[in-house]
Amino acid sequence: MEITRANTPLLFALLLALVSGGFSLTFTFKNNCGYKVWPGTLTIHNKPQLSSTGFELASGASHSLDASAGWSGRLWARTHCSSTTGTFKCDTADCASGQISCNGAEPIQPVTLVEFETGSSDQKFYDIRLANGFNLPVSVTPKGGTGECKSVACSANVNSVCPSKLSVKGSAGSTIACKSACDAFKNAEYCCTGAYSSPDTCKPTKYSKIFKDQCPQAYSYAYDESTSPFTCTGANYLITFCP
């Protein structure tokens, strides 16, 4: 294979597969929204990124990505994206790379995050995180695997009940995303920092309860671990936007 800038991410993914003994995990992304979305992926712990860090997904379409058994990272979807100015940009969950590929960049809040963390013996801890806000509904469904392996979903449209102080408006004036209170107010109580930086002092607030009421299975603030995370070993995963 000729080494070019275009296939460098693929080479990193192949190298990762060789080091870890081969691909053994598949993420399938399904778009059930009535509009296009642009999923993004981020590998953490200084490991090589997946073969795709961002792509377009039409309404009703599916797309699969392979990863190593020990993969950890974050998955999300961007909305209201365009490249009319010559630079790719999204109104929600943009990763500010200027391209469809996120290239290792974090999404900009507010964003509905799906998180995966590897435990021992290929056990996966996974959750839906709304502590960074919300931009669209999502679900995670393990396929196969052993252990708990529960489906987890945030199926409600939190944007429809988002308070005006947290609301992100689109060009048509409707709410297209809902900020976390931390992002909106930069307050230690809402961000679980300073005097509020422990499970004993960081408690649910009237704002985090809005997210929790809509999506009981999701993280609504930093120490919200009463219902998350979930675990599974040896599974593939279906990530559905607008389930």
CATH number for 125: 2.60.110.10
The listed range with the strongest mean pLDDT (8-12, 45-49, 132-136) is 132-136
Over residues 208-236, the mean pLDDT reads 92
Whether the pLDDT of residue 13 is over 50: the answer is no
| pLDDT of amino acid 16 | 40
**Residue 17: what pLDDT?**
40
In this prediction, residue 85 carries a pLDDT of 78
Q: Is residue 141 part of a domain?
A: yes
Q: pLDDT digit string (tens) for 75-97?
A: 999 999 999 878 999 999 999 99
Give the pLDDT score at 69.
Answer: 83
Establish if 2 belongs to a structural domain.
no
Domain of 232? 22-241
DSSP-derived secondary structure for the chain: ----TTTHHHHHHHHHHHHHTSEEEEEEEEE-SSS-BEEEEEE-TTPPPPS-SB--B-TT-EEEEEEETT--EEEEEEEEEE-TTSS-EEEES--SSSSSS-TTPPPPSS--EEEEEE-GGGEEEEEEE-TT-BSS-EEEEEES-BSS---EEE-S-GGGG--TTTEEE-TTSSEEEE--HHHHH--HHHHT-GGG-STTT----TTHHHHHHH-TTSB-STT--SS--EEEES-EEEEEE--
Mean pLDDT of 46-51: 93
Q: Span 116-129, mean pLDDT?
A: 89
**Any domain includes 8:** no
* Rounded mean pLDDT, 194-221: 96
- What total number of domains does the chain contain? 1
* 7: in domain: no
Q: Which two tokens stand for residue 24?
A: 């053994």
State what percent of residues in the chain have pLDDT above 70.
Answer: 91
Residue 12 lies in a domain: no
Answer whether 194's CB lies under 8 Å from 188's CB: yes
Q: Give the confidence band of 227 by pLDDT, cuts at 50, 70, 90.
A: confident
Structural domain contains residue 38: yes
Half-sphere exposure of 48 (CA within 13 A, CB side): 19
pLDDT tens across 143-185, in order?
999 999 999 999 999 999 999 999 999 989 999 999 999 999 9
pLDDT tens per residue, range 17-33: 444 445 589 999 999 99
* Residue 43 in domain: yes
Q: Is residue 6 part of a domain?
A: no
Return the minimum-mean-pLDDT range out of 25-39, 43-57, 108-122, 129-143: 108-122
Q: What's the mean pLDDT in 43-61?
A: 96
Q: Which has the closest alpha carbon to 101: 81, 130, 127?
A: 81
